[in-house]
Amino acid sequence: MSDMRPKIVVVGSSNTDMVVKAARIPSPGETVIRGDFRMAAGGKGANQAVAAARAGGNVTLVARVGDDLFGKQAAEGFRHDKIDTKFVFTDKRVASGIALIMVDRRGENSIAVASGANANLSAKDVERAESAIAGADVLLMQLETPVETVRRAAELAAERGIPVILNPAPARPLNVRLLRLVTVLTPNEIEAEFLTGIKIKAKTDMVKAARKLMGRGVKAVLITLGPRGVFVADGKAETIVPGFKVKAVDTTAAGDVFNGALAVALAEGRPLGEAARFANAAAALSVTKWGAQPSAPGRRDIESYLAKERGGPSLRSGRQGEGKTK
């Protein structure tokens, strides 16, 4: 029996997250004691791959890990989520990526990353995975690996008409050559400001930022707004798809879960606004649990949550105006 799940290729990073939850995030020079320590699989690429797999995607990950315990644990985790690891390369020169994360009592976080093997993911690695990219329904990427590698993957996808989702995180300068290859760009408010120079305070600012990015070649822009939802612009409509109210425990991978779920929804052919709502639900569920990859919800949980919330705004029903703000 053939696998009918949409095919998602994720090119990106893999880290091990070392997380301390404390009353507050320390100021420079300050020590905050009595924290709670946990270790979990992370990295934006790996997080998005796991989120996409659990949301219903047939996922292939293109990444690099070190020849160490963390790398072996990461690969085992991918296999557990039925992610194709054929193109997860082992780098014997450097260690696996590590992220040190502080989380406060409100669930807000501060993160420092040692890239390790992620910095060595190359354009040649991507070309070795060309067959997987050629067969994908969607290519999903972030910016914890070299920009040259991201651009090469985007070129391979664009040549075949495969949609490219780029989550520009962490924020880095992006030239027009890359942006022209992007189908959907998904910055948060800080990243949108970094890319455009427009401070995001109101919906009018989101509109200006999105139009500026689309003027550089991006087909559609989704500016994620945390619990408020996501601003969606595609040249035809500009609207806010509302988020969901939940009690946040840890927001560490909410953006990654959003992007993984978004990739699956778009690969399934859902309209952009509907896909954003599906992704909002996945992200909302993720912040109610600890950890990056451990917090990514399964497809059944996402659908059940949406069913409970079905009285809310739905772009499918044509009620776009309910999601608009002044």
Question: Which residue reads 């953006």 in tokens?
Answer: 255
Measured CA to CA in angstroms, residue 19 lies from 51, 74, 104, 159 at distances of 19, 16, 11, 40
Q: CB atoms < 10 A from the CB of 74, how many? A: 28
Distance between alpha carbon 221 and the CA centroid of its chain, in Å? 14
| 125 given a catalytic annotation | no
| Distance (Å, whole) CA 108 – CA 185 | 24
User: For residue 188, what is the DSSP state?
Assistant: B
Q: State yes or no: cis peptide before 187, omega within 30 of 0.
A: no
Beta strands in 43-152 (DSSP E): 58-66, 88-91, 97-103, 109-114, 138-141
Element (H, E) at 123: helix 123-128
Q: Provide DSSP, 12-52.
A: ---EEEEEEE-SSPPPTT----S-EEEEEEE-HHHHHHHHH
Instruction: Retrieve residue 190's tokens.
Output: 């800080």
| Distance (Å, whole) CA 196 – CA 147 | 18
Coil, strand or helix at 243: coil
- Edge-to-edge strand order for the sheet containing 36-42? 36-42, 15-21, 97-103, 109-114
Of the candidates 234, 250, 256, 301, the residue annotated as catalytic is: 256
> Which residues are identified as catalytic?
256
